[in-house]
Protein backbone atom coordinates (compact mmCIF):
# COMPACT_ATOMS: atom_id res chain seq x y z
CA UNK A 1 0.00 0.00 0.00
CA UNK A 2 1.14 3.59 0.02
CA UNK A 3 3.94 5.28 1.93
CA UNK A 4 3.18 8.34 4.13
CA UNK A 5 0.98 10.52 2.00
CA UNK A 6 0.40 7.77 -0.52
CA UNK A 7 2.63 9.18 -3.26
CA UNK A 8 5.80 7.27 -4.00
CA UNK A 9 4.60 3.70 -3.54
CA UNK A 10 1.26 4.48 -5.22
CA UNK A 11 3.07 5.80 -8.24
CA UNK A 12 5.51 2.90 -8.15
CA UNK A 13 2.66 0.39 -7.93
CA UNK A 14 1.43 1.52 -11.33
CA UNK A 15 4.68 0.29 -12.80
CA UNK A 16 6.76 -2.58 -11.42
CA UNK A 17 5.99 -4.29 -8.12
CA UNK A 18 7.62 -2.53 -5.18
CA UNK A 19 9.31 -5.63 -3.79
CA UNK A 20 11.09 -6.76 -6.93
CA UNK A 21 13.79 -5.22 -9.06
CA UNK A 22 13.35 -4.72 -12.83
CA UNK A 23 13.78 -7.97 -14.69
CA UNK A 24 13.38 -10.17 -11.61
CA UNK A 25 10.38 -12.08 -10.34
CA UNK A 26 9.30 -12.44 -6.73
CA UNK A 27 9.84 -16.00 -5.46
CA UNK A 28 6.66 -18.04 -5.51
CA UNK A 29 5.60 -20.40 -2.77
CA UNK A 30 6.11 -24.11 -3.52
CA UNK A 31 3.01 -25.73 -5.08
CA UNK A 32 2.69 -28.22 -2.22
CA UNK A 33 2.67 -25.42 0.35
CA UNK A 34 0.04 -23.47 -1.60
CA UNK A 35 -2.22 -26.52 -1.75
CA UNK A 36 -1.71 -27.13 1.97
CA UNK A 37 -2.60 -23.51 2.77
CA UNK A 38 -5.72 -23.70 0.59
CA UNK A 39 -6.79 -26.96 2.22
CA UNK A 40 -6.23 -25.49 5.69
CA UNK A 41 -8.35 -22.42 4.89
CA UNK A 42 -11.09 -24.64 3.43
CA UNK A 43 -11.13 -26.96 6.44
CA UNK A 44 -11.17 -23.97 8.78
CA UNK A 45 -14.16 -22.48 7.01
CA UNK A 46 -16.08 -25.77 7.17
CA UNK A 47 -15.36 -26.17 10.88
CA UNK A 48 -16.26 -22.53 11.59
CA UNK A 49 -19.53 -22.84 9.66
CA UNK A 50 -20.48 -26.03 11.49
CA UNK A 51 -19.72 -24.44 14.88
CA UNK A 52 -21.61 -21.26 14.02
CA UNK A 53 -24.59 -23.23 12.72
CA UNK A 54 -24.78 -25.27 15.93
CA UNK A 55 -24.59 -22.09 18.02
CA UNK A 56 -27.31 -20.47 15.93
CA UNK A 57 -29.57 -23.49 16.41
CA UNK A 58 -29.45 -23.00 20.20
CA UNK A 59 -31.88 -20.08 19.73
CA UNK A 60 -35.38 -20.32 18.31
CA UNK A 61 -36.20 -18.50 15.09
CA UNK A 62 -38.34 -15.40 15.66
CA UNK A 63 -40.77 -13.47 13.47
CA UNK A 64 -38.00 -11.20 12.12
CA UNK A 65 -36.14 -14.15 10.70
CA UNK A 66 -39.34 -15.63 9.33
CA UNK A 67 -40.30 -12.44 7.49
CA UNK A 68 -36.82 -12.09 6.05
CA UNK A 69 -36.91 -15.71 4.92
CA UNK A 70 -40.16 -15.04 3.06
CA UNK A 71 -38.64 -11.94 1.44
CA UNK A 72 -35.58 -13.96 0.39
CA UNK A 73 -37.44 -16.87 -1.18
CA UNK A 74 -35.29 -16.63 -4.33
CA UNK A 75 -32.00 -16.39 -2.45
CA UNK A 76 -29.40 -19.15 -2.70
CA UNK A 77 -29.79 -20.63 0.78
CA UNK A 78 -33.50 -21.26 0.32
CA UNK A 79 -33.08 -22.54 -3.21
CA UNK A 80 -30.75 -25.22 -1.83
CA UNK A 81 -32.17 -25.77 1.65
CA UNK A 82 -35.83 -24.93 1.18
CA UNK A 83 -38.06 -22.58 3.17
CA UNK A 84 -38.10 -23.72 6.78
CA UNK A 85 -37.01 -22.56 10.21
CA UNK A 86 -33.49 -23.92 9.81
CA UNK A 87 -32.89 -21.76 6.72
CA UNK A 88 -32.55 -18.77 9.05
CA UNK A 89 -29.84 -20.56 11.06
CA UNK A 90 -27.98 -21.62 7.92
CA UNK A 91 -28.04 -18.08 6.52
CA UNK A 92 -26.92 -16.59 9.84
CA UNK A 93 -24.07 -19.08 10.23
CA UNK A 94 -22.95 -18.55 6.64
CA UNK A 95 -23.00 -14.78 7.06
CA UNK A 96 -21.00 -14.89 10.28
CA UNK A 97 -18.48 -17.33 8.79
CA UNK A 98 -17.91 -14.97 5.86
CA UNK A 99 -17.39 -12.11 8.32
CA UNK A 100 -14.82 -14.21 10.19
CA UNK A 101 -12.98 -15.00 6.94
CA UNK A 102 -12.82 -11.37 5.84
CA UNK A 103 -11.73 -10.20 9.29
CA UNK A 104 -8.93 -12.79 9.32
CA UNK A 105 -7.76 -11.74 5.85
CA UNK A 106 -7.76 -8.09 6.88
CA UNK A 107 -5.80 -8.87 10.02
CA UNK A 108 -3.17 -10.71 7.97
CA UNK A 109 -2.51 -7.78 5.69
CA UNK A 110 0.35 -8.62 3.33
CA UNK A 111 2.37 -10.60 5.83
CA UNK A 112 3.23 -14.26 5.38
CA UNK A 113 4.31 -17.18 7.49
CA UNK A 114 3.87 -17.33 11.24
CA UNK A 115 3.04 -13.65 11.59
CA UNK A 116 0.15 -13.97 9.14
CA UNK A 117 -1.14 -17.08 10.93
CA UNK A 118 -0.92 -15.35 14.31
CA UNK A 119 -2.81 -12.28 13.08
CA UNK A 120 -5.55 -14.33 11.43
CA UNK A 121 -5.86 -16.60 14.47
CA UNK A 122 -6.30 -13.67 16.86
CA UNK A 123 -9.01 -12.06 14.71
CA UNK A 124 -10.89 -15.30 14.01
CA UNK A 125 -10.36 -16.60 17.55
CA UNK A 126 -12.07 -13.60 19.11
CA UNK A 127 -15.02 -14.00 16.75
CA UNK A 128 -15.46 -17.77 16.95
CA UNK A 129 -15.35 -18.01 20.76
CA UNK A 130 -18.72 -19.64 21.66
CA UNK A 131 -21.18 -17.33 23.36
CA UNK A 132 -24.31 -17.83 25.41
CA UNK A 133 -27.86 -16.54 25.15
CA UNK A 134 -27.89 -12.86 24.14
CA UNK A 135 -24.54 -12.98 22.34
CA UNK A 136 -25.57 -15.86 20.12
CA UNK A 137 -29.03 -14.35 19.64
CA UNK A 138 -27.53 -11.06 18.40
CA UNK A 139 -24.83 -12.50 16.16
CA UNK A 140 -26.13 -15.85 14.95
CA UNK A 141 -29.89 -15.65 14.72
CA UNK A 142 -31.99 -13.51 12.39
CA UNK A 143 -29.95 -11.51 9.83
CA UNK A 144 -29.14 -8.14 11.32
CA UNK A 145 -26.41 -5.51 11.26
CA UNK A 146 -23.85 -8.32 11.53
CA UNK A 147 -24.64 -9.17 7.92
CA UNK A 148 -23.81 -5.60 6.97
CA UNK A 149 -20.23 -6.21 8.08
CA UNK A 150 -19.64 -8.61 5.18
CA UNK A 151 -19.81 -6.07 2.30
CA UNK A 152 -18.10 -3.44 4.47
CA UNK A 153 -15.19 -5.79 5.26
CA UNK A 154 -15.00 -6.70 1.57
CA UNK A 155 -14.68 -3.01 0.71
CA UNK A 156 -11.95 -2.60 3.33
CA UNK A 157 -10.11 -5.60 1.91
CA UNK A 158 -10.11 -3.97 -1.54
CA UNK A 159 -8.89 -0.68 -0.07
CA UNK A 160 -6.12 -2.48 1.80
CA UNK A 161 -4.94 -4.93 -0.85
CA UNK A 162 -5.78 -3.59 -4.31
CA UNK A 163 -3.22 -1.71 -6.34
CA UNK A 164 -4.08 1.94 -7.00
CA UNK A 165 -6.03 1.61 -10.24
CA UNK A 166 -9.00 3.68 -11.38
CA UNK A 167 -11.48 0.87 -10.92
CA UNK A 168 -10.61 0.36 -7.23
CA UNK A 169 -12.55 3.41 -5.97
CA UNK A 170 -15.39 2.61 -8.38
CA UNK A 171 -15.81 -0.91 -6.99
CA UNK A 172 -15.56 0.33 -3.38
CA UNK A 173 -18.15 3.04 -4.03
CA UNK A 174 -20.55 0.54 -5.61
CA UNK A 175 -20.18 -1.90 -2.71
CA UNK A 176 -20.82 0.80 -0.11
CA UNK A 177 -23.84 2.15 -2.02
CA UNK A 178 -25.30 -1.35 -2.39
CA UNK A 179 -24.77 -2.13 1.30
CA UNK A 180 -26.22 1.22 2.39
CA UNK A 181 -29.44 0.57 0.48
CA UNK A 182 -30.00 -2.43 2.74
CA UNK A 183 -28.70 -0.79 5.93
CA UNK A 184 -28.24 2.95 6.41
CA UNK A 185 -25.77 2.15 9.20
CA UNK A 186 -23.15 1.81 6.43
CA UNK A 187 -23.24 5.60 6.08
CA UNK A 188 -21.84 5.99 9.59
CA UNK A 189 -19.53 2.97 9.89
CA UNK A 190 -18.02 2.98 6.39
CA UNK A 191 -18.85 5.91 4.12
CA UNK A 192 -18.03 8.74 6.53
CA UNK A 193 -14.88 7.08 7.98
CA UNK A 194 -13.46 6.34 4.52
CA UNK A 195 -14.11 9.88 3.30
CA UNK A 196 -12.51 11.39 6.43
CA UNK A 197 -9.43 9.13 6.42
CA UNK A 198 -8.65 9.57 2.72
CA UNK A 199 -9.24 13.33 2.86
CA UNK A 200 -6.94 13.59 5.88
CA UNK A 201 -4.22 11.61 4.13
CA UNK A 202 -4.40 13.78 1.03
CA UNK A 203 -4.38 16.97 3.12
CA UNK A 204 -1.46 15.74 5.24
CA UNK A 205 0.60 14.93 2.15
CA UNK A 206 -0.15 18.32 0.59
CA UNK A 207 0.25 20.58 3.63
CA UNK A 208 2.74 18.87 5.95
CA UNK A 209 4.77 16.77 3.52
CA UNK A 210 4.75 19.28 0.65
CA UNK A 211 3.81 16.68 -1.94
CA UNK A 212 2.03 17.70 -5.15
CA UNK A 213 -1.73 17.24 -5.05
CA UNK A 214 -1.81 15.05 -8.22
CA UNK A 215 0.24 12.45 -6.33
CA UNK A 216 -2.75 12.01 -4.03
CA UNK A 217 -5.25 11.30 -6.79
CA UNK A 218 -5.96 7.77 -5.51
CA UNK A 219 -6.71 9.02 -1.99
CA UNK A 220 -8.94 11.74 -3.45
CA UNK A 221 -10.66 9.20 -5.69
CA UNK A 222 -11.44 6.97 -2.70
CA UNK A 223 -12.85 9.94 -0.76
CA UNK A 224 -15.01 10.95 -3.73
CA UNK A 225 -16.14 7.34 -4.21
CA UNK A 226 -17.21 7.21 -0.56
CA UNK A 227 -19.20 10.44 -0.85
CA UNK A 228 -20.85 9.44 -4.15
CA UNK A 229 -21.61 5.96 -2.83
CA UNK A 230 -23.17 7.44 0.31
CA UNK A 231 -25.33 9.83 -1.70
CA UNK A 232 -26.43 6.99 -3.99
CA UNK A 233 -27.26 4.85 -0.98
CA UNK A 234 -29.43 7.61 0.45
CA UNK A 235 -31.20 8.32 -2.84
CA UNK A 236 -31.82 4.72 -3.93
CA UNK A 237 -34.61 3.92 -1.41
CA UNK A 238 -36.54 6.99 -2.55
CA UNK A 239 -36.16 5.90 -6.18
CA UNK A 240 -37.31 2.37 -5.34
CA UNK A 241 -40.30 3.74 -3.45
CA UNK A 242 -41.20 6.07 -6.35
CA UNK A 243 -41.33 3.18 -8.81
CA UNK A 244 -43.36 1.04 -6.41
CA UNK A 245 -40.53 -1.25 -5.36
CA UNK A 246 -40.83 -0.76 -1.62
CA UNK A 247 -42.27 1.42 1.11
CA UNK A 248 -40.19 2.61 4.03
CA UNK A 249 -41.28 4.17 7.27
CA UNK A 250 -38.99 7.04 8.20
CA UNK A 251 -37.51 6.73 11.66
CA UNK A 252 -38.18 9.77 13.84
CA UNK A 253 -35.21 10.48 16.11
CA UNK A 254 -34.07 13.31 18.30
CA UNK A 255 -31.06 14.10 20.46
CA UNK A 256 -31.47 12.92 24.04
CA UNK A 257 -30.85 15.27 26.96
CA UNK A 258 -27.30 15.20 28.30
CA UNK A 259 -28.30 13.52 31.55
CA UNK A 260 -29.95 10.70 29.58
CA UNK A 261 -26.92 10.35 27.29
CA UNK A 262 -24.40 10.09 30.14
CA UNK A 263 -26.43 8.23 32.77
CA UNK A 264 -28.47 5.89 30.56
CA UNK A 265 -27.39 5.67 26.92
CA UNK A 266 -23.67 5.22 27.60
CA UNK A 267 -24.39 2.57 30.22
CA UNK A 268 -26.66 0.66 27.84
CA UNK A 269 -24.04 0.99 25.08
CA UNK A 270 -21.41 -0.52 27.36
CA UNK A 271 -23.68 -3.43 28.25
CA UNK A 272 -24.47 -4.04 24.57
CA UNK A 273 -20.75 -4.11 23.72
CA UNK A 274 -20.23 -6.73 26.43
CA UNK A 275 -23.17 -8.72 25.04
CA UNK A 276 -21.69 -8.70 21.53
CA UNK A 277 -18.36 -9.90 22.93
CA UNK A 278 -20.05 -12.63 24.98
CA UNK A 279 -18.66 -10.96 28.11
CA UNK A 280 -21.80 -9.62 29.79
CA UNK A 281 -21.20 -11.02 33.27
CA UNK A 282 -23.10 -8.17 34.96
CA UNK A 283 -25.94 -9.56 37.04
CA UNK A 284 -25.08 -13.19 36.21
CA UNK A 285 -25.13 -15.40 39.33
CA UNK A 286 -24.45 -18.82 37.81
CA UNK A 287 -20.80 -19.63 38.49
CA UNK A 288 -20.19 -21.58 35.27
CA UNK A 289 -21.82 -19.03 33.02
CA UNK A 290 -20.23 -16.09 34.83
CA UNK A 291 -16.77 -17.66 34.55
CA UNK A 292 -17.32 -18.45 30.89
CA UNK A 293 -18.33 -14.88 30.12
CA UNK A 294 -15.46 -13.43 32.14
CA UNK A 295 -13.11 -15.38 29.86
CA UNK A 296 -14.59 -13.45 26.95
CA UNK A 297 -13.35 -10.26 28.57
CA UNK A 298 -9.92 -11.14 27.18
CA UNK A 299 -11.21 -10.74 23.64
CA UNK A 300 -13.20 -7.63 24.51
CA UNK A 301 -10.17 -6.09 26.22
CA UNK A 302 -7.91 -6.94 23.29
CA UNK A 303 -10.38 -5.34 20.88
CA UNK A 304 -10.58 -2.20 23.02
CA UNK A 305 -6.78 -1.99 23.11
CA UNK A 306 -6.68 -2.32 19.32
CA UNK A 307 -9.12 0.56 18.93
CA UNK A 308 -7.08 2.69 21.35
CA UNK A 309 -3.83 1.94 19.49
CA UNK A 310 -5.52 2.73 16.18
CA UNK A 311 -6.71 6.10 17.45
CA UNK A 312 -3.27 6.90 18.89
CA UNK A 313 -1.39 6.00 15.71
CA UNK A 314 -3.90 7.39 13.23
CA UNK A 315 -2.20 10.77 12.48
CA UNK A 316 1.05 9.11 11.40
CA UNK A 317 -0.17 5.82 9.99
CA UNK A 318 1.44 4.74 6.73
CA UNK A 319 -1.44 2.76 5.28
CA UNK A 320 -5.15 3.40 5.05
CA UNK A 321 -6.12 0.52 7.32
CA UNK A 322 -3.45 -1.85 8.50
CA UNK A 323 -0.75 0.15 10.25
CA UNK A 324 -3.37 1.58 12.60
CA UNK A 325 -3.56 -1.81 14.28
CA UNK A 326 -0.23 -3.51 13.77
CA UNK A 327 3.41 -2.35 14.04
CA UNK A 328 5.18 -1.93 10.75
CA UNK A 329 6.92 -5.13 9.63
Same domain (yes/no): 203, 225? yes
Q: Answer yes or no: is 24 within a domain.
A: no
Same domain (yes/no): 57, 38? yes
* Structural domain for 268, as ranges: 256-329
Instruction: Give the C-alpha separation, 308 to 302, whole Å.
Output: 10
Q: Answer yes or no: is 18 within a domain.
A: no
Q: Annotate 190-223 with b (16+ C-beta within 10 A) or e (fewer).
A: bbeebbebbbebbebbbeeeebeeebbbbbbbbb
pLDDT in tens, 112-159: 888 888 888 888 887 876 666 666 777 777 667 888 899 999 999 999
Please tell me the pTM assigned to this model: 0.70
- Please say whether the beta carbons of 1 and 319 come within 8 A: yes
Same domain (yes/no): 39, 96? yes
End-of-domain residue from the set 125, 143, 161 = 143
Q: Is the pLDDT of residue 163 over 70?
A: yes
Supply the DSSP string of 50-85, one letter for each residue.
Answer: HHHHHHHTTS---HHHHHHHHHTTTSHHHHHH-SSH
| Measured CA distances, 24 to 17, 21, 111, 164, 282 (Å) | 10, 6, 21, 22, 59
Same domain (yes/no): 47, 135? yes
Q: Answer yes or no: is 313 within a domain.
A: yes
User: Into how many domains does the chain fold?
Assistant: 3
End-of-domain residue from the set 110, 143, 176 = 143
Of 26-35, 52-61, 146-155, 263-272, give the lowest mean pLDDT range.
26-35
End-of-domain residue from the set 101, 117, 143 = 143
Same domain (yes/no): 38, 138? yes
Confidence of residue 231 (pLDDT cuts 50, 70, 90): very high
Same domain (yes/no): 227, 294? no
Least Cα distance to 135 among 293, 282, 264 occurs for 293
Supply the DSSP string of 260-284, one letter for each residue.
Answer: HIIIIIHHHHHHHHHHHTT---TT-
Amino acid sequence: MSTPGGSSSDAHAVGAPADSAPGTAAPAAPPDRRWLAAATWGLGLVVAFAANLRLSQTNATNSDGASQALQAWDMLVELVHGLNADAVHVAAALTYTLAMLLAALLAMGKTTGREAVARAAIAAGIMIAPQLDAGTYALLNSPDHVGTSVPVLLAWLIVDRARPRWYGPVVVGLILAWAQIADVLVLYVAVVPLAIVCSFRALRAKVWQRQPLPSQRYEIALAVAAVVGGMAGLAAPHVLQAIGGETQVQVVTQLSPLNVIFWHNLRVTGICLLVLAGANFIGVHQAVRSGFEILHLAGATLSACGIAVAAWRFPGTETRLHSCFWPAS
